[in-house]
Structure 1
Amino acid sequence: MGLDTPLVDADGYPRGDIDVYRARSQRNRFRHLQTDHKEIKVKIEGLLDELAKKKDATKEKAQIEENNLRLAPKPKPKFDAATGKWVVKNWDGSVAGVNGGEQISFNDLTQNRDISAITEPSRTTVPVALVDGSTSDTRTTSTTSRRPFAKVDGVTHPSPAADAGMKVNDLIIRFGPLHADNNDRLRAVATLVPGVAEVNGKIQISVLRRRQQSTSTSEDNNIDYNDETQWEEAVLILHPRPFDGRGVLGCHIVPF
């Protein structure tokens, strides 16, 4: 017996082969359930519409924020000492211009990065003479970096260079990550310094100075710069920054 099966015979009398009362009760129960189902369905559809609107609003808000960030003025490029390159800021705060930049914060290029391990040649541990003539604790210096690539031919007083202890005739063998093989005729130095100054950073410099007791008169090109009896190495910390003079260093260096 279905929902539409007649409950009376052809003469209009209740059928004797079915339980008419039970059939009517079940049909009435079904109609109530059908009505409840429709009401619940309408409620679900309404809630889905509200949820979709909220998702669209959230997505639209995020899209607007992203567009605003993309259109906002970008800060000046920074020099990344880890790679030796200038980098720019992405809209999401990451770095563009270097591999893996999406995992680097433009606001802190040194975060979770070992800068000292990059672009460094082979290293060994040797005593290094300080500017004041005393000997520091054992420091790390390069075994291949004692070949000078620049010479200091002028130092302004006062200046960042003077504060660092730089002197006229100092022979530069290391300038941060730069050395005789990668300074590009000092062009890399000119690139490095402004970037470090912008982030208020410091540069470690290694210079050679002829020992006062040395009486050698050999031409510079024939000198053995690894001869510690004639040359002492000094490690200086240079803090490029504006001062009363020109530039941010206060010294003049020339290719050597």
Structure 2
Amino acid sequence: MTVPSSADLAAALKTLIAQRDALEAEILDLLEILKAQGNVGMTAPLVGADGFPRADVDVYTVRHTRAEVIRKRNDAKALTDRIESELHELHRVAQLERTTTIPTPQAQNESAAAAAPIPGAADHGDDAGLASLAPMARIDAVAPESPASAAGLVTGDLLLRVGRLTAVDTAPTMGGLGALGAYVQQHKNRPLAVVVRRAGPSHCTLQLTPKEWDGRGLLGCHIVPTDA
């Protein structure tokens, strides 16, 4: 059986990420429909105090839209789980391609296990060599009252490291910024050490916790390639 190359896996990963992004956009559109229906959201009752369906909303539309939101959220969650799995496989294959000797199946399994994140483990790293790290991306905008804003990220910050990820892990052959997005999803509600460069060669370390907030995404900032 032919083993997919890292380039093949990266292309497949980009497709999965695009599919998830499309689903998330559809979910936002559906939530706008609920907002137009008296801002009923996903939980507001559709029956009045008299026991009859509310007359101020289209009950059928709300029920149908809520069902679609639930279905698409489940689909997006399944895609996120698959993206995480594919990302681990991409790292494993890329490591194998960088070696001159093909390891035994046992060594491959050990390598994959070592590369997988340990549940509950905190992200940290040695600060030595930060000056030599290439930026993986740039913060293009930060939304007020977002997790990114609370962490202290500002427009123009260059991301040197997010948790365990560096520019090497977000190279095009490793999934690009999609790899960063998958990593953030994987660490939802878990603090990440983020190292940024600002004002020339100086750098600082911030603590960022990806989580749901009133805006879009888990961070509330727009991240672009450094050359964008």
Q: What interval of TM-score do these two structures reach, taking the shorter chain for normalisation?
A: 0.3 to 0.5
Of Structure 1 and Structure 2, the greater strand share is in: 1
TM (norm. structure 1) is 0.40
Of Structure 1 and Structure 2, the greater helix share is in: 2
Q: Which has the higher contact order (CA 8 A, sep 6+)?
A: 2
TM (norm. structure 2) is 0.45
